[in-house]
Amino acid sequence: MSPQTFSTHATGAFSADEDAPEYTAYGQDWSDIAEEAKRLGQQRIVVNMGPQHPSTHGVLRVMLEIEGETVTEARAGIGFLHTGIEKNMEYRTWTQGVTFCTRMDYVQSMFQEVVYCLGIEKLLGITDDIPERANVLRVLMMELTRIGSHLVAIGTGGNEMGATTVMTTAFIAREQTFRVIEMITGLRTNNAYIRPGGVSQDTPDGAVDYIRELMPDVKQRLDELADLQLENPIFKLRLKGIANLNLSSAMALGVTGPMLRSAGLPYDMRKTNPYCGYETYDFQVPTSTDEDAYSRVVLRMEECYESLKIIEQCCDRLDAMEGQPVMVADKKIAWPAQLALGPDGQGNSLDHIQHIMGQSMEALIHHFKLVTEGFPVPAGQVYQQIESPKGVLGVHLVSDGGTKPWRAHFRDPGFNHLQALSILCQGGQVADVVVAIATMDFVLGGVDR
């Protein structure tokens, strides 16, 4: 293929020694292996962790070279969850693409939808035409998802360290955010709710009251989580001063989000490059200078409280903007109908169907063209970045003037964060690897796409 020769193995070979003994662990037999290694006089062991390890947040393979309990080398191998979403998006209309990109990082699905739609809107030149109510709904959805994503990071992290209660508490709180999201979008996750030009539908009756009803419970669970963890001596021993990443390393490796803020840089896209009207909300960006695993958990907790503040402001605005449009006025871009919930629980808009099937042939043609063909997007390319719970999420979109993307590339923050795994783990204990992975917070669905 090329005159150069590359390392044949994705992560490079640790040893060229053909005679090195190999052990396979099946669980519960670690002492036997250690015994055998001791008999053979082996000091240095290469352990393959994953890909199907419960603490790897998907399917991540970590190759650890250990001496006793100390990790001397750690390498991450990814690609097990690659599903070709970006390639698939090139064969679907711009609107259909939303349902694909939402499935990348399935824990923060709203953020992929938002960044993708913001990119399309920039290509179309309609960024300023998005109705205010749609922007508020986008912010509301993003902040609910941010809480959910952080709770997954904190909860599964606790579970991996042996504290099941942390996980159950976090997931109960996350379920409350899902209740709201489900009420408004119809789905718990992978919603395809954010659409080019706005959002797919307006809130149902009583949605704002429902948010106001549920959020105190989320706050209470967050308090509970803080009480459970932050002053717990075992928790502090496991996390304080562990998996350090200083500012210069973080910058060099393109690490963003809470990882970067834990190293002392108060960098948040919502403040520096506001989108969806974030500049009009009152919230803080928590920052720490401890650069360790503990500070990252604390930052995520604090960010959840800040998100609750933003959600409160969203509720007030939604009340004030009752009845305003949630989709761009341009009928050549806007999705032709909003869904309404029928008595059978299925979404459909009877009024719209009556209109296109019985009254207006032009409306039917318009609907048919827009839904099957989609809308053309002028040729060009844009880059859009937003602050996802995990860090800077970027999208590079290229249009050939057609109704489908020529190229859609997503820059998932976890992809960069995983490169820092070696720095976080090397020189630490084997048990710290799990802490490092848990507090890095990545999801392999987003990393591999």
Partner 1 sequence: MSDKVSKKDAPKKSPVETAPKKTDIEDSNVDIASAIPDPEGRAPITLINVREGMFSGAGDTSGFGGLTQAVQMPGSSERPYGEWFDGVVDILEELLGDEADAAFEYIVVDRGELTIYVQRDHLLTVMTHLRDDQDLRFEFCLGVSGVHYPDDKGRELHAVYPMHSITHNRHVRIEVAVATEDPHMPSITSVYPANNWHERETWDFFGIIFDGHPSLARIEMPDDWVGHPQRKDYPLGGIPVEYKGATIPSPDTRRQYR
Q: Which residues bind to partner 1, rule: CB under 8 A?
A: 1-2, 4, 6-12, 78-79, 82, 84, 86-88, 90-92, 122-123, 125, 251-256, 265, 267, 272-273, 372-374, 379-383, 385, 392, 394, 396, 398, 400-403, 406-407, 409, 411, 415-416, 418-419, 448-449
Most distant CA atoms of the chain, gap in Å? 85
Q: Which is nearer to partner 1, 96 or 168 (CB)?
A: 96
- Residue 359 CA to residue 373 CA, distance in Å, equals 22
- Residue 60 CA to residue 79 CA, distance in Å, equals 8
User: 218: how many CB neighbours lie within 10 A of its CB?
Assistant: 26
Q: How far is the CB of 421 from partner 1 (least distance, A)?
A: 11
Buried b (16+ CB within 10 A) or exposed e, 319-348: eebeeeebbbeeeebbbbbbeeeeeeeeee
Q: How far is the CB of 288 from partner 1 (least distance, A)?
A: 18
- Residue 404 CA to residue 398 CA, distance in Å, equals 10
Q: How far is the CB of 155 from partner 1 (least distance, A)?
A: 27
Q: How far is the CB of 320 from partner 1 (least distance, A)?
A: 30
Q: Which is nearer to partner 1, 30 or 368 (CB)?
A: 368
Q: Which is nearer to partner 1, 160 or 387 (CB)?
A: 387
Q: How far is the CB of 88 from partner 1 (least distance, A)?
A: 7
Q: How far is the CB of 399 from partner 1 (least distance, A)?
A: 8
Q: Which two tokens stand for residue 241?
A: 């001063």
Angle at 243 between CA 237 and CA 247, to 5 degrees: 125
Q: Is residue 438 a contact partner of residue 161, using CB atoms and an 8 Å limit?
A: yes
Q: Is residue 376 a contact partner of residue 402, using CB atoms and an 8 Å limit?
A: yes
Q: Which is nearer to partner 1, 218 or 424 (CB)?
A: 424
Q: Which is nearer to partner 1, 7 or 43 (CB)?
A: 7
Q: Which is nearer to partner 1, 37 or 251 (CB)?
A: 251
CA-CA-CA-CA torsion sign (123, 127, 133, 135): positive
Q: How far is the CB of 263 from partner 1 (least distance, A)?
A: 13
Q: Which is nearer to partner 1, 4 or 24 (CB)?
A: 4
Q: Which is nearer to partner 1, 185 or 385 (CB)?
A: 385
Q: How far is the CB of 236 from partner 1 (least distance, A)?
A: 31
- Residue 253 CA to residue 255 CA, distance in Å, equals 5
Number of helices followed by number of strands (H, E) in the chain: 18, 10
Q: Which is nearer to partner 1, 315 or 392 (CB)?
A: 392
Q: Is residue 447 a contact partner of residue 265, using CB atoms and an 8 Å limit?
A: no
CA-CA-CA-CA torsion sign (35, 37, 43, 49): negative
Q: Which is nearer to partner 1, 212 or 409 (CB)?
A: 409
- Residue 256 CA to residue 390 CA, distance in Å, equals 7
Q: How far is the CB of 233 from partner 1 (least distance, A)?
A: 36
User: 28: how many CB neighbours lie within 10 A of its CB?
Assistant: 7
Q: Which two tokens stand for residue 81?
A: 């969850």
Cβ-based neighbours of 28, under 8 Å, separated by 6 or more = none
- Residue 428 CA to residue 68 CA, distance in Å, equals 11
Q: Distances from the Cα of 209 to the Cαs of 88, 142, 308, in angstroms?
A: 39, 19, 15
Q: How far is the CB of 87 from partner 1 (least distance, A)?
A: 6
